[in-house]
């Protein structure tokens, strides 16, 4: 197996010609025969026992050719790429050039592009940290008080906005019940807007035990197309009413919900946390501005294959997050009306940005001769192990040290850019 030709084409393309020795191909063809002969019936021979020459006479000389070629390509192509010193992106297209003697193959595809970047040190970017306002502090305290509200059963009045109404309901369109339109013992906070517009308002004024119709119209953009824009009737029964009594902010309440003893101490802690949150947000926006500046300074002919590959990575990550929450893409698409192609379109801008930023940071790491120590790589393995509760040795089997090193280099490059940046007043 050897590289015969290397040609770099426009827009980060490449053409490689490489050979597979006749001995290697013959071996692969014999392996293909051993695998496929078990499935082939030949008159006069027990199934799986027909000689290779007999099968070739019956079905043609090239019956095992394609399987043998496909078996040879990965190792031969990898060797050619290594000899050509290329980093391939995406899946190349393979063609057969010659079958006389050694097999000669041609691969056409795309490589990681040549990159240049200047002016990445001393970038100016804004970093504005918003002060923690009294309104923010009060809003946070209100949320804590609401979370600790005391639920009181209502028995002497009708339902009102703000109550939690426990209801049974069954919806129908033109007298026909529809999927997902039935519920029993459902707690609905009136005024939350969690049901179709107009539904909650029609429960207000109803008494416990009362049965009534709720008339609503599904919005035109409703995710279930068969219901979009349709008038529906929900036969409803009000089972019970609960009122939430919000506690007052006192020193006693503070000691119950926090580690502090007074309202002033509690407010000071909330202010500190909001300030920290605002600082983190400002830092993230600052780093985001630096990243955008690096992308603007990047000069490279980036092949489409890199964007497509990264987009698919984002799709897989999205699917993984859904599965962690008990969903999958198919179910998600059903309830949102989105399609796989639509999801790709949504994720594509993020993928493009990530590809460009990584190329910029990799180039900076190269230009600045940044390095990563073995200790840093080991520490990263430990960090991943502890984060995901996976043994370190298993992490090492899953993630190559070179990949860890590459990620750390880009992280070091971003740190260099941040440390040299100038904060605008």
In sequence order, the β-bridge partners of residue 375 are none
What is the chain's mean pLDDT, rounded? 93
At 120-151, the pLDDT tens digits run: 999 999 999 999 999 999 999 999 999 999 99
What three-state secondary structure class fits 280?
A: helix
At 75-106, the pLDDT tens digits run: 999 999 999 999 999 899 999 999 888 999 99
How far, in Å, are 246, 295, 381 from residue 151 at the CA level? 9, 54, 48
At 239-261, the pLDDT tens digits run: 999 999 999 999 999 999 999 99
Question: Taken in order 74, 75, 76, 80, is the CA torsion positive or negative?
Answer: positive
pTM: 0.71
Domain architecture of the chain: domains with CATH? 2-112 (3.30.70.1050), 150-245 (3.10.50.40), 263-424 (1.10.3120)
Does the pLDDT value for residue 32 go beyond 90? no
C-alpha span between 265 and 261 (Å, rounded)? 7
Q: Are the C-beta atoms of residues 145 and 247 closer than 8 Å to each other?
A: yes
Q: Are the C-beta atoms of residues 104 and 23 closer than 8 Å to each other?
A: no
Extract the tokens encoding 282: 């400002």
Q: What is the pLDDT of residue 398?
A: 93
Q: Which pLDDT band, with edges at 50, 70 and 90, does 35 fall under?
A: confident
What three-state secondary structure class fits 94?
A: strand
Q: What is the pLDDT of residue 1?
A: 62
10 Å CB burial of residue 109 (0-12, 13-18, 19+) is buried
Extract the tokens encoding 276: 């920290």
Give the residue ranges of DSSP H helices in 110-174: 134-147
**CA torsion 273→278→284→287, rounded to 10°?**
-120
C-alpha span between 318 and 108 (Å, rounded)? 31
């Amino acid at each position: 197996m050897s590289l015969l030709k290397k040609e770099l084409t426009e827009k980060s393309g490449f053409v490689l010609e490489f050979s597979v020795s006749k001995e290697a191909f013959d071996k692969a063809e014999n392996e293909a025969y051993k695998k496929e002969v078990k499935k082939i019936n030949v008159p006069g021979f027990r199934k799986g026992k027909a000689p290779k020459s007999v099968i070739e006479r019956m079905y043609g000389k090239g019956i095992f050719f394609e399987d043998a070629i496909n078996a040879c390509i990965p190792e031969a192509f990898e060797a050619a790429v290594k000899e050509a010193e290329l980093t391939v992106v995406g899946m190349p297209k393979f063609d057969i050039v010659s079958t006389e003697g050694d097999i000669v193959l041609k691969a056409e595809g795309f490589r990681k592009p040549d990159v240049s970047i200047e002016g990445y040190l001393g970038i100016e970017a804004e970093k504005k940290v918003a002060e923690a306002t009294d309104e923010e502090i009060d809003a946070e305290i209100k949320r804590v008080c609401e979370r600790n509200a005391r639920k009181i059963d209502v028995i002497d009045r009708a339902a009102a906005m703000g109550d939690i109404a426990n209801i049974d309901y069954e919806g129908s369109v033109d007298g026909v019940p529809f999927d997902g339109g039935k519920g029993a013992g459902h707690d609905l906070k009136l005024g939350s807007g969690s049901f179709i517009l107009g539904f909650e308002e029609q429960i207000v004024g109803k008494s416990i035990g009362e049965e009534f119709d709720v008339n609503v119209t599904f919005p035109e953009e409703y995710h279930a197309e068969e219901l979009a824009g349709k008038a529906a009737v929900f036969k409803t029964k009000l089972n019970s009413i609960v009122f939430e009594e919000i506690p007052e902010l006192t020193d006693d309440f503070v000691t119950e919900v926090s580690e502090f003893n007074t309202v002033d101490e509690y407010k000071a802690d909330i202010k500190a946390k909001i300030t920290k949150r605002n600082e983190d947000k400002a830092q993230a926006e600052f780093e985001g501005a630096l990243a955008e500046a690096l992308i603007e300074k990047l000069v490279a002919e980036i092949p489409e294959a890199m964007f497509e590959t990264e987009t698919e990575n984002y799709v897989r990550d999205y699917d993984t997050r859904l599965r962690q929450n008990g969903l999958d893409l198919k179910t998600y698409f059903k309830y949102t009306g989105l399609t796989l192609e639509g999801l790709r379109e949504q994720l594509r801008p993020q993928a493009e940005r990530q590809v460009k930023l990584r190329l910029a940071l990799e180039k900076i790491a190269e230009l600045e001769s940044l390095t990563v120590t073995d200790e840093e790589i080991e520490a990263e393995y430990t960090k991943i192990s502890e984060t995901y509760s996976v043994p370190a040795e298993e992490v090492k089997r899953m993630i190559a040290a070179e990949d860890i090193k590459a990620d750390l280099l880009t992280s070091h490059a971003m740190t260099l850019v941040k440390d040299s940046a100038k904060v605008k007043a």
